[in-house]
Amino acid sequence: MRFYDQSHKFYCGVDLHARSMYLCIRGEGGAVVLHQNFVADANTFLEAVAPFRDGLVVGCECMFAWYWVADLCAEHQIDFVLGHALYLKAIHGGKSKNDKLDADKLSALLRGGNFPIAYVYPKGLRETRDLLRRRSFFVRQRALLFAHIQNTNSQYNLPVFGKKLVYAANREELDVAKRFADPSVRLSIETDLALIDSFDERIAQLELYLERHAKVDDPNAFARLKSIPGVGKTLGLVLLYEIHDITRFPSAGSFLSYCRLVRCKHESAGKSKKGTASAKKIGNGHLRWAFGEAVCLWLRQSDRAKAWMKRREKKSGKAKAMGILAAKLARATYHLLRKKQVFDETKALGG
């Protein structure tokens, strides 16, 4: 956990919502100089903070509407800090809770050096990253449609499909009218297939667009990431845009923690206990998925990785061995991007 500890003349806590924002501004001595609810509007925000612009820092919680505030502050040279939502327990743990109290607590945490910070992804690349995440959502929806077709086929105890339906040519050969006698079931399957065809077309367009942008935004890093065994176009894009700037991680350990690839201990009075469910959500789930997928593909290609996995599996079990290998791959990726080198399997596996 990192805290914002820089000194300013004024500290502004923003309890931000889609249509409203509650501002609380404190001076250096802690006195509240502004505490008021406003409409969530750029001009309104600038007018409200105008008397305190000299030495002002603005902090708000990381929720879905923070983009415009961060961009507005960057445009007008106002220091902006993004608060980590899961670490901001202080604003949720009080006896009473409302927008006024939340804004007050945010400004107090900001002034006291106890404001947990999250990464402010820069404008320009942020939009491409969000499009990539949207592409992943479409892929999952497409998979659900395939699952529904398979489940429907099993519901009526029909023969298994002879070919994989993920390929468009095999879907064209599927005789829906002959396989499904009931017109309602037939229409349901035909609708699924039509949506899958539409998803295929859109996903292909998105992938082409994203790959072109990656070759412009950071072609060298994209090429280095694709040198990792098992990392192709899609995983390379996820790693490139989810990591963004490797220098924001001071060490490989902090990068692994961000990727949810380390097991954090919870200790009290010398006793250890398992981490809470919320602790498992701290970090980037997209990177955790990407490295998990990359490890599976790496094991398909590499005899050296298979031999390492076989030895470790005897000692720790398959699940834990896969997690350790994913952590090794993430550590190698960190040094690959830091040192601007291609992937070295010998170093990744420890000799």
pLDDT in tens, 89-122: 767 777 788 999 999 999 999 999 999 999 999 9
Domain-terminating residue out of 74, 96, 118? 118
* Complete DSSP assignment for 277-317: TGGGGSS-HHHHHHHHHHHHHHHHH-HHHHHHHHHHHHHH-
C-alpha pair distances (Å), 134 with each of 17, 42, 204? 23, 27, 13
> Number of folded domains in the chain?
3
CATH of the domain at 102: 3.30.420.40
C-alpha pair distances (Å), 222 with each of 227, 330, 339? 9, 15, 14
Q: Secondary structure of the chain: what % helix, strand, coil (to 5)?
A: 55, 15, 30
Is the same domain home to 229 and 312? yes
Q: What is the pTM of this model?
A: 0.90
Is the same domain home to 227 and 337? yes
Strand partners, 118: 82
Strand partners, 297: none
Mean pLDDT computed over 212-229? 94
Between residues 351 and 2, the one the model is more confident about: 2
**What pLDDT band is residue 269 in, cutting at 50, 70 and 90?**
confident
DSSP E strand boundaries for the chain: 3-4, 10-16, 20-27, 32-39, 56-61, 79-83, 115-118, 266-268, 271-273
Give per-residue pLDDT as tens, 244-261.
999 999 999 999 999 999
Strand partners, 24: 13, 35
- Non-local (6+) Cβ contacts of 35 within 8 A are 23, 24, 25, 100, 103, 104
Q: Distance (Å, rounded) from C-alpha 153 to C-alpha 343?
A: 44
Domain-terminating residue out of 65, 88, 118? 118
What pLDDT is recorded for position 279?
60
C-alpha pair distances (Å), 35 with each of 55, 105, 106, 119, 157? 18, 12, 12, 27, 66
Domain-terminating residue out of 83, 118, 153? 118
By CB atoms closer than 10 A (0-12, 13-18, 19+), residue 214 is buried
What pLDDT is recorded for position 351?
61
Q: Distance (Å, rounded) from C-alpha 71 to C-alpha 66?
A: 9
Domain that holds residue 39: 3-118
CA 319, chain centre distance (Å)? 23
